[in-house]
Amino acid sequence: MNNPRFEKALRFLLYGGMIVVSLLYQLRPFNDPDFFWHLKTGEWIWQHRELPAGDPFNFVSPAVEPVGRRFTLTAYWLSQVSYHLIHDRLGMPGIVVLKLVVALLFVLALLKLRRGDPVVHAALVLVVLPLLFCLYPLDRPQAFSFLFFAVLLARLEKERTAAAAPSGWASGLVVPILMFAWANMHGGHAIGQVTIALYLALEGVKYLHPALRPAGRERYRRLLVLGVAGLGASFVNPNSWHALQIALVPAPAWVGNTDYLSTVRYFHNMDQPLIFIFWGALFLTALACLFTVTRPDITRIALLAGTGYYGFIHVRYVPYFMIAAVPVLGVFLSAERVSRWARQALLAGAVLLVTYVIWNEFPSRERVGAALGVNNAYYPVRAADFVIANDLRGNLYNTYVWGGYLLWRLAPERKVFVDGRGVNAQATFLSGSIALALAQSVESPMYWKNILKQYGIGYLIIPREQTCQGFVFDDTSGLREALREAPEWVSVFADETALVFVLNTPEHRAVIARYGTPTERLLGGG
Task: Name the more confident of 522 and 382.
Answer: 382
- How does pLDDT run across 49-102, given as a tens digit for each residue? 999 988 899 888 766 556 667 888 899 999 999 999 999 999 999 999 999 999
pLDDT (tens digit per residue) in 433-444? 888 887 655 456
pLDDT of residue 165: 62
In angstroms, the CA 514 to CA 392 distance is 13
Q: In which band, very low, low, confident or very high, does the pLDDT at 255 lie, cut at 50, 70 and 90?
A: very low
Residue 494 confidence (pLDDT) above 80: yes
| Band of pLDDT at residue 526, cut at 50, 70 and 90 | very low
φ, ψ of residue 208 to 5 degrees: the values are -75, -25
Residues 6 or more apart from 298 whose CB is under 8 A from it? 202, 205, 206, 212
Is 104's pLDDT higher than 90? yes
CA–CA distances in Å: residue 267 to residues 25, 168, 278, 289, 333 = 20, 48, 11, 26, 27
What pLDDT does 168 receive? 67
Q: Which domains does the chain have, with CATH numbers?
A: 4-31+75-365 (no CATH), 381-523 (3.40.50)
From first CA to last CA, the distance across the chain in angstroms is 79
- Percent pLDDT > 90 in the chain is 57
| Model confidence pLDDT, tens digit, residues 141-162 | 999 999 999 999 999 998 888 7
For the four alpha carbons of 462, 468, 472 and 475, in that order, the dihedral sign comes to positive
DSSP run (H or E) holding 499: strand 498-503
Candidates 382, 391, 381; CA nearest to 514 is 391
**Mean pLDDT within 18-43:** 93
- The reply to whether the predicted model has a pTM over 0.85 is yes
Per-residue pLDDT band for 470 (boundaries 50, 70, 90) equals very low
